[in-house]
Structure 1
Amino acid sequence: MRRALGAAVVMGALTAVLPGVASADPASGERDSRVGVDAGVERISVAADGSQLDGDSTGGAITTDGGRTVFTSSATNLTPGNAAGSERVYLRDKPSGQIKHVGSHPIDSPVISGNGEYAAYWVLLFRDTKIKLAQWTAGSSIGLNCDALNCSQPSVSGDGRSMANVATIGRPSTSQRIDVWDWQAGTKQELAWFAHTAPSRPSISGDGRFVAYQDGKAKDVFLWDGDHGSISGPIEGPAKEATIVQVSEDGGKVVYLSGPDTYVHDVSTGTARRVPDVKGVAIDPTGNHLLYAPNDTTGPSLVLRDLRTDTDRTVSDRPASAEVDAVSADGRDVVFASTADDIVPGDTNGKSDVFVRSFDRTVARQG
């Protein structure tokens, strides 16, 4: 434990209880306070009293059951004592209405464990980058010692115990490796070394067994199987260049980009399904729903496809963005960010906000 945690940096918990937040039914444009079937869109980046925020909110990741989300915000009125101009990490619990400030100064969007207990993000500490692990129960974050000067791009397992990350070696940096940690036991496995610093990032499955990662220079995607200690790949084949998106929580699917298309690799069969002319953004924990951004910018900005039935649902027809871990199980909920002011009624703050779109599982349209 001491080896994994290193010198812990702990901040006091700042907690607020949010009132029930009205949502918008996209079909009618009216407020809808229902939670469940066809709940529409809810703005989740709001202050404790339900009022709009005075700063931008971005990113967004959601748990397997859709009960918790993590996002970043520079707002001063989200929780008490916030200084202007500082980006912070917030965990929000939908059932209780609580929101907790659990970290500060993230470099990139945080990711969340499947059970919602942990969120991971990376920060700049002096001239190095370090990974912080935020915990819902403690309402604070700790610094993890990842055995390198610069550590970044964390991906956490379903229970938060395992984490994959990039460790960059040397000053100035000359090489990097892909690691997977059991941070509670303080054990680490080094999956791959690269003699370059081109973008190479990992994605870990829910049980921590699989880690998909890319060699950013060769533009190849590989899959590590912890049960067998084996690495397969490049999974896209020898002739393609690929960029990793995400491995599903059940470890059964790996999403990658190649050219203008997205591919969903089936781990059990070794075959890949092509989804043409779209940019894959995330896959749900079951591997059955793909969130993508169409390359054709004249239509919706974010779409959720049921890979079993080839049916599509529009997540947002306004300009919007989403991150990995943006979809809950069965495609029930999708978290996204947008600067649009007409997604829900009364959005007049002129800021980027974070929203959750909830779907009725029984309704879909042909893509």
Structure 2
Amino acid sequence: MSGNVNRGTGRRVTRRVRGVLGAAVAVCAVTVALPGVASAEPSGAGAAGAAGVERISVAADGTQADGDSADASISHDGRRVIFSSSATNLTSDTASGGSKVFLRDQRTGQNQRMGDLSPIGPPVISGDGEYIGYAHEWITNVRIRQYQTSTGRTASLNCSAYTCDQASLNTDGRYTAHVLRYPRQPTFGQRIEVQDWNNGGANQNVATFAHTKPSKPSISGDGRYVAYQDGQTEDVFVWDRTGATTSGPIEGPDKAASLVQLSDDGGKVVYLSGSDTYVHDIRTGTNQLVPNVKGLAIDPTGRYLLYAPRDTSAPSLVLRDLRTGTDEVVSAQPASAGTDAVSAGGRDVVFQSAADDIVPGDTNGKSDVFARHLY
């Protein structure tokens, strides 16, 4: 991939959403049948498409990782999972020397190492699974390197002498939202930009701040919207490429907020305020309250919210159908997850955990990446 590669228009993944499971909490999962992959299956499961959970951070033959794995994200169709790992045995060409980024193809069960660089922060993946990106150290700065998964071609964002990080990719990888700052002059503040790879890598300014507190951009699937936060005022805004207009603060004037994620369809913004999570509907301007939980991710359709209950006696990860209010347990064991952890229609959730009882035969004593398939 080069900075001038023409990336075609991405096609939105459409899934048939499962029906209402009833008022009680429903616990279900799916296991994809992959050679040598350890999985936990409820009674009666076993074939591909049956309920279960599988460990992603293993070699193609099922060998356990010899290092810690974390920071998983999943493509919209659930086929590709990206994660970072210090393991040296996930691929035949993995060398030691810090964490590396790996792509797991769920259809083939094969792993692919994405470059030799060590990531700074979680890697990200485009909705179609064709592009991945991550920040890494570059001389005295930080750069974002992107890879095309099918060809291995690479390109770096056009950051000049600045530091670029906090990348967010749209569905087909054409647009990359990121934060740009000048590390040797922090008083210069920072900018949120969107780079268009089909326009010679040209950057479009989204917002400019006189500070370097977290900004955390999140871009919609078509690249039209970018949600971001002002870490100093603790406000969340939404930028619209059409007319380059900005709306917000979406949480209103009376409370502080921090951004979680913008849904791929550009319709919902998840943000935190106090001990609660809110899902803001951009079209209606209304907020849906999910009390006493920490929102972690929203699926591409904006219907399913992954959250961590603040009640320590509750399961660590839960997926909520925002339309019906139905909850499904993703992990009862201690676990965590990041944005882009849920595939379209809430079918798959990827997460990390050091628990050794999620799947049978987990004896490596490491943090692993798992996928729970909910139907």
Normalising by structure 1, we get a TM-score of 0.90
In structure 2, relative to structure 1, the CA distance for the partners of 1:230 and 1:222 (3 Å cut) is same
Give the distance between the partners of 1:172 and 1:46, measured in 2 at CA: 43
Corresponding position of 2:192: 178
Give the distance between the partners of 2:4 and 2:143, measured in 1 at CA: 12
- Greater Cα shift, 97-106 or 158-167: 97-106
Give the distance between the partners of 2:284 and 2:119, measured in 1 at CA: 38
* Contact 2:2–2:155 (8 Å) recurs in 1: no
In structure 2, relative to structure 1, the CA distance for the partners of 1:259 and 1:2 (3 Å cut) is same
- Greater Cα shift, 82-91 or 141-150: 141-150
Structure 1: which 4+ aligned runs deviate by more than 4 Å? 1-5
Q: Give the counterpart letter for 1:23 in structure 2.
A: S
Does structure 1 residue 130 correspond to structure 2 residue 146?
Answer: no
Percent sequence identity is 60
Instruction: Decide which of 308, 319, 323 is 1:304's aligned counterpart.
Output: 319
Corresponding position of 1:321: 336
Corresponding position of 1:47: 59
Corresponding position of 2:349: 334
Give the distance between the partners of 2:208 and 2:344, measured in 1 at CA: 33
Corresponding position of 1:231: 246
Corresponding position of 1:93: 105
Q: Map of 1:51-200 to 2, 5 A cutoff?
A: 51-103=63-115, 104-139=117-152, 141-169=154-182, 171-174=184-187, 175-185=189-199, 186-200=201-215
In structure 2, relative to structure 1, the CA distance for the partners of 1:274 and 1:172 (3 Å cut) is same
Q: Give the counterpart letter for 1:154 in structure 2.
A: A
Corresponding position of 2:12: none
Q: Give the counterpart letter for 2:39 in structure 1.
A: S
* Contact 1:90–1:101 (8 Å) recurs in 2: yes
* Contact 1:262–1:277 (8 Å) recurs in 2: yes
Normalising by structure 2, we get a TM-score of 0.88
Q: What CA deviation, in whole Å up to 9, does each residue of 1:215-260 have, x standing for no partner?
A: 1101110001112321100000111110000000000000000000
- Secondary structure at the residue paired with 1:304? strand
Q: What CA deviation, in whole Å up to 9, does each residue of 1:66-96 have, x standing for no partner?
A: 1111001111111123233421111111112
Q: How many angstroms does 1:58 deviate by?
A: 0.6
- Secondary structure at the residue paired with 1:310? coil
Q: How many angstroms does 1:57 deviate by?
A: 0.6
Give the number of equivalent residue pairs.
344
* Contact 1:257–1:263 (8 Å) recurs in 2: yes
Does structure 1 residue 359 correspond to structure 2 residue 374?
Answer: yes
Q: How many angstroms does 1:2 deviate by?
A: 7.2
* Contact 1:148–1:168 (8 Å) recurs in 2: no
Q: How many angstroms does 1:121 deviate by?
A: 0.8
Q: Structure 1: any 5+ residue segments left out of the alignment? A: 6-17, 361-367
Q: How many angstroms does 1:4 deviate by?
A: 6.9
Q: How many angstroms does 1:49 deviate by?
A: 1.7
Q: How many angstroms does 1:178 deviate by?
A: 0.5
Give the distance between the partners of 1:209 and 1:60, measured in 2 at CA: 25
* Contact 2:38–2:361 (8 Å) recurs in 1: no
RMSD: 1.8
In structure 2, relative to structure 1, the CA distance for the partners of 1:250 and 1:127 (3 Å cut) is same
- Secondary structure at the residue paired with 1:184? helix
- Secondary structure at the residue paired with 1:58? strand
Give the distance between the partners of 2:265 and 2:133, measured in 1 at CA: 20
Q: What CA deviation, in whole Å up to 9, does each residue of 1:132-153 have, x standing for no partner?
A: 1122112354322234511100
Q: How many angstroms does 1:22 deviate by?
A: 4.3
Q: Structure 2: any 5+ residue segments left out of the alignment? A: 6-33
Q: Give the counterpart letter for 1:88 in structure 2.
A: K
In structure 2, relative to structure 1, the CA distance for the partners of 1:194 and 1:86 (3 Å cut) is same
Corresponding position of 2:258: 243
- Secondary structure at the residue paired with 1:309? coil
* Contact 1:117–1:135 (8 Å) recurs in 2: yes
In structure 2, relative to structure 1, the CA distance for the partners of 1:111 and 1:187 (3 Å cut) is same
Q: Give the counterpart letter for 2:96 in structure 1.
A: A
